[in-house]
């Protein structure tokens, strides 16, 4: 069995999660080759074949050309699986590659399963097992699902080229917004999620944070709704935090949020929904309405 792993570069650097692809291939027990649109200065620590396309020529984001570079490597290697990370690069490019190869695609794989691949559904609350019908199959992997593995060694480079131009013009990256509060240094974070209900209820969260001597964080929907400043967002697209105590108030636990806080020392989640995915990482799950429970907790702690 053979996998073609698709690495990922940004601003000239190989992204760390590229090594999770090797972790997956190792679980699968598959032979591995990689394709990378990057540069010789940013190669993975991997002694196998790496098809290297020059990012200076093809751009770091140019899906029309990248999909054809993948196709060129597929024609030479005849892999069983073409594997991406489920990132803004991977979920963008993978369906284009699947369309070009007329191949099945399984998105956001979290585990190998008998007869196929396991993936989350219903906002991470459930799992389904799907089986691709045909080879090669295109897969994207959920970040963190397969432990990173660094194979080591010096890459055996193969040149890969395609002609033509893409229809998308990449105009550049825009750096992350300046952080409001540096949550990374906080020992206690009390975060507000959609379960708080409305902006007017936020002082309740701030009061609990004050009593606990902590800072206030937020989940993405709270920031998107304009209730709180983007600087307070915890998660993949915000800040990654690891306080001694993290209190998630009305946060269901989207994978992007969990990735940003699951390394906290102790996690308390307050949620009406006993089955919310936040329960997967919580040390204590309080099944309650945030607006009833939090004021009661604050009152008791203030005594």
**Residue numbers 124-143 binding another protein by CB under 8 A:** 125-134, 140
DSSP 8-state code for residue 42: G
* Residue 204 in the binding site for another protein (CB under 8 A): no
CA 303/CA 23 separation, integer angstroms: 51
- Residue among 57 and 131 whose Cβ is closer to another protein: 131
Interacting stretch for another protein, rule CB under 8 A, among 30-38, 146-154, 197-205, 271-279? 271-279
Which of 106-122 are b and which e, b meaning 16 or more Cβ less than 10 Å from the residue's Cβ?
Answer: bbbbbeeeeebbbbbee
Task: Choose which of 26, 149, 158, 237 interacts with another protein (CB under 8 A).
Answer: 237
CA 9/CA 20 separation, integer angstroms: 14
CA 192/CA 196 separation, integer angstroms: 6
In whole angstroms, the minimum distance from the beta carbon of 269 to another protein comes to 8
In whole angstroms, the minimum distance from the beta carbon of 212 to another protein comes to 6
Binding positions for another protein, 25-44, rule CB under 8 A: none
* Residue 265 in the binding site for another protein (CB under 8 A): yes
Task: Return all residues near 258 (Cβ < 8 A) that are at least 6 apart.
Answer: 235, 277, 278, 280, 281
- Residue among 21 and 245 whose Cβ is closer to another protein: 245
* Residue 180 in the binding site for another protein (CB under 8 A): no
- Residue among 50 and 109 whose Cβ is closer to another protein: 109
In whole angstroms, the minimum distance from the beta carbon of 129 to another protein comes to 4
Binding positions for another protein, 77-106, rule CB under 8 A: 86-89, 91-92, 94-96, 98-100, 103-106
CA 8/CA 10 separation, integer angstroms: 7
CA 101/CA 96 separation, integer angstroms: 9
**For the residues of 222-267, what is the DSSP string, one character each?**
HHHTTSS-GGGBBSTTSB----SEEEEES----HHHHHHHTTSSEE
In whole angstroms, the minimum distance from the beta carbon of 28 to another protein comes to 18
Beta bridge partners of 239: 234
* Residue 213 in the binding site for another protein (CB under 8 A): yes
DSSP 8-state code for residue 125: T
Binding positions for another protein, 145-174, rule CB under 8 A: 167-174
* Residue 184 in the binding site for another protein (CB under 8 A): no
């Amino acid at each position: 069995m053979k996998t073609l792993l698709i690495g990922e570069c940004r601003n000239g650097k190989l992204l760390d999660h590229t090594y999770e692809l090797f972790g997956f291939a190792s679980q699968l027990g598959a032979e591995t080759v990689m394709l990378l649109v990057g540069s010789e200065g940013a190669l993975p620590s991997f002694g196998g074949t790496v098809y290297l396309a020059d990012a200076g020529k093809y751009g770091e984001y140019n899906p029309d050309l990248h999909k054809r570079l993948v196709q060129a490597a597929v024609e030479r290697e005849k892999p069983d699986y073409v594997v991406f990370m489920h990132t803004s690069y991977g979920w963008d490019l993978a369906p284009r590659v699947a369309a070009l190869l007329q191949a099945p695609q399984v998105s956001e794989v979290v585990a190998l399963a008998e007869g196929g691949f396991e993936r989350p559904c219903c906002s991470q609350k459930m799992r389904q097992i799907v089986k691709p019908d045909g080879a090669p199959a295109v897969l994207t992997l959920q970040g963190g699902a397969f432990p990173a593995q660094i194979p080591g060694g010096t890459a055996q480079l193969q040149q890969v080229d395609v002609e033509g131009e893409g229809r998308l013009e990449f105009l550049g990256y825009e750096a992350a917004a300046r952080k409001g509060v540096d949550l990374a240094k906080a020992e206690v974070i009390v975060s507000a999620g959609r379960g708080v209900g409305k902006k007017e209820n936020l002082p309740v969260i701030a009061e609990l944070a004050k009593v606990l001597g902590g800072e206030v964080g937020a989940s993405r929907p709270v920031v998107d709704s304009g209730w709180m400043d983007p600087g307070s967002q915890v998660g993949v697209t915000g800040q990654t935090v690891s306080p001694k105590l993290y209190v998630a108030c009305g946060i269901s636990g989207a994978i992007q949020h969990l990735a940003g806080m699951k390394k906290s020392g102790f996690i308390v989640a307050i949620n009406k929904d006993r089955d919310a995915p936040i329960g997967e990482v919580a040390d204590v799950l309080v099944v309650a309405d945030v607006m009833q429970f939090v004021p009661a907790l604050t009152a008791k702690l203030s005594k």
